[in-house]
Amino acid sequence: MIKLTIKFRKNSLNKYKISALLTFASLLIFLASCSDKSDIKEVEKPLEKTMTQVTIKTSVGDIQLELNNEKAPITVENFKTIAQSGYYEGTIFHRVINGFMVQGGGLNADMSNKSSGTSPIQNEANNGLANDRGTIAMARTMDPHSATSQFFINHKDNGFLNHTGENSQGWGYAVFGVVTEGMDVVDQIAEVATGPSGGHQDVPEEVITIESVTISE
């Protein structure tokens, strides 16, 4: 009977030790988990900005835009590089069609071409952004991948300019931002009288100058 009692006590003691060890191990796991979460929080990186703020100062008022770095990274970087070089200063809105768009960024006030010195960029019109009223897009020649510095702001929804296929007829025109303030200035530009000048059509009779383009990161 004494031996049986001793065994029983030993077994109880072993069970107690095992239970205590399991509790201690659980506590260590919990503390480690809390420590890991704290460490992760400390090394979190700030989210990259998907929008770039731009102000186009014109002779008739300011136009503020947001450029979409996520959807049109090549186009936005090209525009920023040209703007920060000071190239756009003194260029004009040389093609204006009320109910369609206002175009600028490539000609001087005397209607002479102004070279940006940049290479044509890849057309990003397949980014899902539509040529809706108030959006800014790159102007180009018949070659889909020929855009350099000239841009236009859509005065109305122009769905026919959107991407429909990767061919010369369907590439469309790459939207890379939208007007956030100053659409009334765009409307004012769109409503000016126009005519032929310097071998171009739809040229504003009143010179509308781009005085500066400011980028705010």
- pLDDT tens across 130-168, in order? 999 999 999 999 999 999 999 999 999 999 999 999 998
- Domain locations along the chain: 1-44, 51-216
Backbone angles phi, psi at 42, to 5 degrees: -70, -30
Q: Which residues contact 1 (CB under 8 A, 6 or more apart)?
A: none
Give the least confident one: 13-22, 88-97, 105-114, 190-199: 13-22
Q: Which amino acid is at 184?
A: D
* Strand arrangement, sheet containing 151-154: 93-97, 101-104, 151-154, 135-138, 175-181, 61-68, 51-58, 210-216
pLDDT at 17: 52
Average pLDDT, the chain: 85
51-216, superfamily in CATH?
Answer: Cyclophilin-like (2.40.100.10)
Cα(166)–Cα(170) distance, rounded to whole angstroms?
6
pLDDT at 19: 56
Q: How confident is the model at residue 50 (pLDDT cuts 50, 70, 90)?
A: confident
Q: Which amino acid is at 102?
A: V
Residue 39, pLDDT > 90, answer no
Cα(105)–Cα(73) distance, rounded to whole angstroms?
19
As given in the structure block, the two tokens for residue 208 are 């509308």
Residue 44, pLDDT > 50, answer no
Cα(94)–Cα(97) distance, rounded to whole angstroms?
10
Q: How confident is the model at residue 2 (pLDDT cuts 50, 70, 90)?
A: very low
Q: Which residues contact 148 (CB under 8 A, 6 or more apart)?
A: 78, 106, 116, 118, 119, 120, 121
Query: How far is CA 8 from each of CA 3, 13, 16, 130, 147, rounded to the nearest angstrom?
Result: 9, 9, 12, 81, 89
Are 160 and 171 in contact, with CB atoms under 8 Å apart?
no
As given in the structure block, the two tokens for residue 140 are 């180009």
Q: Percentage of residues in the chain with pLDDT exceeding 90? A: 74
State pTM to two decimals: 0.78
Over residues 79-132, the pLDDT tens digits come to 999 999 999 999 999 999 999 999 999 999 999 999 999 999 999 999 999 999
Cα(109)–Cα(3) distance, rounded to whole angstroms?
111
Q: How confident is the model at residue 217 (pLDDT cuts 50, 70, 90)?
A: confident
pLDDT at 168: 86
Cα(215)–Cα(177) distance, rounded to whole angstroms?
13
Average pLDDT over every residue of 32-46 = 42
pLDDT at 29: 41
Q: How confident is the model at residue 48 (pLDDT cuts 50, 70, 90)?
A: low
